[in-house]
DNA sequence: AATCTACAGTAACATTTATCACAGAAGGAT
DNA sequence: ATCCTTCTGTGATAAATGTTACTGTAGATT
């Protein structure tokens, strides 16, 4: 059987893989676990091997405004960025599907950046793609109305899971878009009337 | 007289300064110039020596949603990020006060990252601070109402210029917050009644 | 089967924000 | 001074979104 790390991070060099295995610590967390809180100091960089982590911004009222999801083969850009100076986190990270991660002590970050080309490229690409994703989020809330944002949100979800069924309650969607359940219900009903989705309990099927 | 680059970028090593002078090209642009457009390929990293550049997201209706400003001693994070793979820009950059910049060919980015510790640290810090700034923007539009956003916007401006007078028309503010002038006028009037600002033509004085 | 609970639908109303319409004021140009 | 343009103030109204209150329903629990 091939090295699982190599399978998940195919671009990493063999030396880097070996170094990660020597220095990282593999850990698992159950869905619901909060891995990072706003204001907390960050001590590790996290590579996702399995499962799904939600990165969000917490509102005073308990809103969980979705920034993006982390999936296998990805890493937390925030933890990489803050790492250099052990800065405070500005976001929340919550496990949404049981995860296995590789924790890497932050002081190794800088070292590896110099020593491993494939690590350097991975970090830069992680920054870039997350920055872009966040810009897109800004676009949505700045320029789009709730119905468009909802459509975009559903598409993102179905893209992420690779299927056309989104298994979420209206309340969960409302929380992540920072609106109310009633609004989500109303808009989804309209979308159903337009033939865009089919609604079931705890499940929304995208038709187009 | 001390080297101007060293004055503006005090953390750069002397060797790095020399390298920048050898390889960069100093250029000036007038207020109003658009330095970068959404969808354009990026060919240079830009260091700001003088003046001010606005980084914003363009809406279909011509909105110019403010992300942040670039000032002397700073660099465009986007151009650094995209650089590695000559990616397309996702944002717009417009000169708001006549600038002098140092343009650095993107292929030097990676090289310098390895060779100059002070460049590496500068790049990482640039990413980090911009990411944070954008997260704060998200917070504002996701969780705050227009009156709070307006207050925050004015504070940001006065912080940036280091003075308590913000020299902008209501229309300009409205454009950057993606709302309408009337709304801005009304909210400012309320702020004036609460004793938070003093309003003049093309100028808002912050009192608290 | 009876009960309970989380989820979903919907009407009525409140609030916020956007749009339209217009009037007046400040400052520059002639 | 007169004209012009830009900026500002404000009412009236429309539209989007948030809130309250209540109903029904599916599935789980007993």
pLDDT digits (tens, 9 = 90+) for B5-28: 999 999 999 999 999 999 999 999
Q: What is the DSSP letter of A84?
A: T
Q: Which nucleotide is nearest to A181 (CA to C1')?
A: C8
Q: Is the dihedral of CA B155, B161, B164, B167 positive or negative?
A: negative
B113 touches strand C (CB under 7 A): no
pLDDT at A83: 57
Are A138 and B138 spatial neighbours (Cβ–Cβ below 8 Å)?
yes
DSSP element (H, E) containing B177? helix B170-177
What nucleotides of chain C have any atom within 7 angstroms of a protein Cβ? Answer: 6-12, 16-21, 26-27
Pick among B79, B81, B109, B133 to test the A interface (most A CBs inside 10 A): B81
pLDDT in tens, A14-60: 999 999 999 999 999 999 999 999 988 888 899 999 999 999 999 98
Cα-Cα-Cα-Cα torsion A96, B141, B46, A68, nearest 10 degrees, comes to: 10
Residue from A38, A113, A128 to probe the interface with B (highest B Cβ count within 10 Å): A128
Q: Which nucleotides of D are covered by protein (CB under 7 A)?
A: 6-12, 16-21, 26-27
Per-residue b or e along B105-133, where b marks 16 or more CB atoms closer than 10 Å to that residue's CB: ebebbeebbeebebbbebbbbbbbebbbb
Q: Which of A31, A166, A27 is nearest to A94 (CA)?
A: A31
Q: CA angle at residue A121 from A116 to A123, to 5 degrees? A: 95
pLDDT digits (tens, 9 = 90+) for A104-143: 998 898 899 999 999 999 998 998 899 999 999 999 999 9
Does A64 contact strand D, using a CB cutoff of 7 Å? Answer: no
Confidence (pLDDT) at A197: 96
- Please state at what angle helix B170-177 crosses helix B181-193, rounded to 10 degrees: 110
Which of B:40-99 have CB within 8 Å of A?
Answer: 57, 59-60, 63, 65, 67, 77-78, 81-82, 84, 87, 90-91
**pLDDT attached to residue B32:** 92
- Contacts of residue B62, defined as CB under 8 A and 6 or more positions apart, other chains included, come to B175
Mean pLDDT of chain A: 92
Strand order, beta sheet including B165-166: B165-166, B203-206, B197-200
Q: Does the pLDDT value for residue B170 go beyond 80?
A: yes
Residue A201: Cβ-neighbour burial (10 angstroms; 0-12, 13-18, 19+): exposed
> Regarding predicted confidence, which is higher, A160 or B83?
A160
Q: What are the chain B neighbours of A90 within 8 Å (beta carbons)?
A: 132, 135-136
Would you list the DSSP string of B70-135? Answer: E-TT-B-HHHHHHHTTTPBP-SEEEEEEEEEEEEEETHHHHHHHHH-HHHHHHHHHHHHHHHHHHH
Q: State the pLDDT confidence band at B1, using cuts at 50, 70 and 90.
A: low
Task: Please count the residues of chain A.
Answer: 208
Question: What six digits make up the tokens of A182?
Answer: 């009633």
B146-161 and B117-143 helices cross at what angle (nearest 10)?
A: 150
Number of other CB atoms surrounding residue A98 within 10 Å: 14
The closest CB to that of B143, out of A82, A142, A178, belongs to: A178
């Amino acid at each position: 059987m091939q090295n699982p790390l190599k399978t998940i991070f195919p671009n990493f060099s063999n030396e880097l893989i070996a170094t990660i295995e020597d220095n990282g610590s593999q850990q698992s967390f159950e869905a619901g676990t909060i891995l990072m809180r706003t204001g907390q100091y960050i001590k590790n960089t996290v590579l996702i091997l399995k499962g799904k982590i939600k990165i969000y911004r917490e509102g005073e009222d308990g809103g969980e405004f979705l920034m993006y999801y982390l999936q296998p083969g990805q890493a937390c850009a925030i933890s990489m960025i803050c790492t250099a100076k052990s800065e405070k986190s500005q976001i929340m990270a919550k496990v949404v599907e049981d995860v296995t991660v590789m924790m890497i002590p932050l002081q190794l970050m800088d070292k590896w950046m110099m020593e491993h080309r494939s690590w350097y490229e991975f970090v830069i690409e992680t920054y870039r793609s997350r920055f872009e994703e966040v810009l897109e989020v800004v676009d949505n809330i700045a320029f789009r109305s709730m119905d468009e944002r909802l459509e975009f949100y559903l598409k993102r979800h179905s893209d992420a899971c690779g299927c056309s069924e989104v298994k979420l309650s209206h309340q969960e969607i409302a929380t992540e878009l920072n609106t109310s359940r009633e609004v989500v219900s109303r808009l989804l009903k309209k979308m159903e009337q337009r033939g865009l989705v089919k609604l079931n309990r705890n499940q929304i099927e995208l038709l187009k």
